[in-house]
Structures are given as C-alpha cells and as structure tokens.
Amino acid sequence: MSIATTIMPHLPYLRRFARALTGSQKRGDAYVAAGLTAIIEDPGIFDTRLHPKVALYRVLVQIWDSVDVLDRHQMRALPHERTLDAMMPRARQAFLLTTVEGFSAEEAGKVLDTTAAGVRDLVEQAGREIAAQVATDVLIIEDEPMIAMDLEALVEGLGHTVCGLARTHAEAIKAVAARRPGLVLADIQLADGSSGLDAVNEMLTTIDVPVIFITAYPERLLTGERPEPAFLIAKPFDTDVVKAVISQALFFDMRARGGAEMKAAG
C-alpha cells in the first residue's frame, strides 16, 4: 500500500489538529500541505514503524518546529497573536493531541519524541494555562434530555452559565434572540428532524460565537469538501475531552477578538 493511500483517511483529522494548533484554517492547511510535500520529497521522514496516524502527526509537528509557513510574519505583526505562543509549544501540542485528537499519552509521546510521563506533565502545564479562561454564557442545542443534563452540569462545573437549552432548530434561534451566548454546544440531529448544523449556520449570520459540535456522526462534518468546524467531539463523549475543548474554543475566540480590537484601534 502506498504512503498516500495509507495517510488519506487521517487527513481530515490532521487538518483539524493543524487548525487548532495555529488558530487559523488557512495557516493550518498550509502546514498540512508543507508536511505532505516533505513526505513526497523524502518518504523516509514518514516512519512506517509507527501507526500511520502517529507517523503523519509526527511529520506535521516536525514541520511546525522547523519551518515558517505562509504568514507567520502576520503573527509577529499582531502582538495579540502571540497569546497562544505564551503557552509552551510542546504543552500546547500535547494538550491538543491527547484531549482533542484522542491519542494516548504513549502515542502522543511518539509524535512529540518524548515519554508518556513527559506528555502528562505537558498536558498538566497546558491545563494550568487554559484555566485562566473567563466564564461565559453557554447555549446547549441537544435533543436527548440526559445528554443535555450532563452537558449542563459539566458547563456549570467549569464556572460557566447555561443561558439556554434547545431541542430544535427553532428553539435554538429563539434562545439566541433572547440572550446572546458566548459559546454554543450543538448536536446535529435534533428532536423534530431539524438540523443543529442549520441552526448554527443561521445564528452565525447575525452573531460571532465559537461553536463545538458534539455528534455521533463526525464524518458528516469532516469531509474536506467545505469549511469544517475546528471543534468537533464524537459521541459517546469523554467529559474531560469536552472540558478541554470548551477551554480551547474560548481561548481561540478570545484570541480572535483581541485581533479584531487591535485592527479597529489601528
């Protein structure tokens, strides 16, 4: 089997990781493209002794560590963009690999060329950094009552406020009109057959808010054929993963708003 065939199933997830790592789909895709180019030019950097997904992510991390891709100069031009960089890069990578991408500490260690214990130390460090997030109002779009209750308890346990629970597209739009959320947790398939994705797309025409999709069908969003969410969690979900992704979503939203404010001031 060729390397291209081997890595193809993992590319949508690699793009998600790269976007979360860089904070931009454009920059993320540029790093993915650079990694694929590097593999074509030197197939030996793709370690066939490792699981293909581990080997692929390892290449991307090596590219991130060693190459300035696309528009890193823009990050230097906008000091607020360095906010994420204040977290040690390895801690940031370890956090994303284990909590968002689902790698074990051992697998993440192979990606980052460290031990499982080293990964756990890095993740702990990242958690301390992300714990500085400010509290916000959260809208939950979920038609299963037990799941909605679990998410509500989880969100409130993090110090946030649930400003609405919606079971349908119409309820979601009504909730946003009543109180603007700072974060949305959304399922795709809703109680009356309506779509949480459609509801989110509609609300995003009037407000700018980070969205985390929590769905049993992640492959419907990770197609590579349209803009994809940076924050996507598969059901059944792990509560620690949801907590981690909430922090990531709010962190990147804060970062993006800081950029907008700087541009307006400039």
Q: Can you give the pLDDT at residue 258?
A: 61
In terms of domains, do 19 and 101 share one?
A: yes
Residue 24 CA to residue 252 CA, distance in Å, equals 9
Phi-psi region of 53 (alpha: psi -120 to 50; beta: other; left: phi over 0): alpha
For residue 234, list its beta bridge partners. Answer: 215
Q: Can you give the pLDDT at residue 223?
A: 59
In terms of domains, do 113 and 145 share one?
A: no
CB 168 within 8 A of CB 194: yes
pLDDT of residue 209 exceeding 70: yes
In terms of domains, do 66 and 159 share one?
A: no
In terms of domains, do 159 and 122 share one?
A: no
CATH of the domain at 98: 1.20.140.160
More confident residue, 62 or 127: 62
CATH of the domain at 176: 3.40.50.2300
Which of 110, 130, 150 represents a domain boundary (last residue)?
Answer: 130
Segments forming the whole domain that contains residue 169: 137-264
pLDDT tens, residue by residue, 76-93: 433 334 444 556 788 889
In terms of domains, do 124 and 142 share one?
A: no
Instruction: Answer whether 0.75 is exceeded by the pTM.
Output: no
pLDDT of residue 225 exceeding 70: no
3-state secondary structure 209-251: CCEEEEECCHHHCCCCCCCCCCCEEECCCCHHHHHHHHHHHHH
Close Cβ partners of 184 (under 8 Å, ≥ 6 residues apart): 138, 139, 140, 141, 200, 203, 209, 210, 211, 212
Mean pLDDT computed over 123-132: 66
In terms of domains, do 144 and 102 share one?
A: no
What band does 31 get if pLDDT is binned at 50, 70 and 90? very high
What band does 70 get if pLDDT is binned at 50, 70 and 90? low
What are phi and psi for residue 233, nearest 5 degrees?
Answer: -125, 130
In terms of domains, do 144 and 192 share one?
A: yes
Residue 81 CA to residue 215 CA, distance in Å, equals 30
Which of 111, 130, 149 represents a domain boundary (last residue)?
Answer: 130
pLDDT tens, residue by residue, 153-185: 999 888 889 999 999 999 999 999 999 999 999
In terms of domains, do 220 and 157 share one?
A: yes
pLDDT of residue 55 exceeding 90: yes
For residue 141, list its beta bridge partners. Answer: 166, 186
In terms of domains, do 10 and 100 share one?
A: yes
pLDDT of residue 226 exceeding 70: no
Q: Can you give the pLDDT at residue 132?
A: 54
In terms of domains, do 79 and 174 share one?
A: no
- The amino acid present at 114, given as its one-letter code, is T
Q: How many residues does the chain have?
A: 266
More confident residue, 55 or 21: 55
DSSP string for the chain: --HHHHHGGGHHHHHHHHHHHHT-HHHHHHHHHHHHHHHHH-GGGS-TTS-HHHHHHHHHHHHHHH---SSHHHHHHSGGGGTGGGS-HHHHHHHIIIIIS---HHHHHHHHTS-HHHHHHHHHHHHHHHTTPPP-EEEEE-S-HHHHHHHHHHHHHTT-EEEEEESSHHHHHHHHHHS--SEEEE-SB-TTS-BHHHHHHHHTTT----EEEEES-GGGT--SSS---S-EEESSPPHHHHHHHHHHHHHHHHHHHHHHHHHHH-
Mean pLDDT computed over 234-249: 83
Say how many domains are in the chain. 2
Which of 130, 161, 177 represents a domain boundary (last residue)?
Answer: 130
In terms of domains, do 240 and 179 share one?
A: yes
Return the percentage of the chain with pLDDT > 70, whole number.
80
In terms of domains, do 124 and 166 share one?
A: no
pLDDT of residue 260 exceeding 80: no
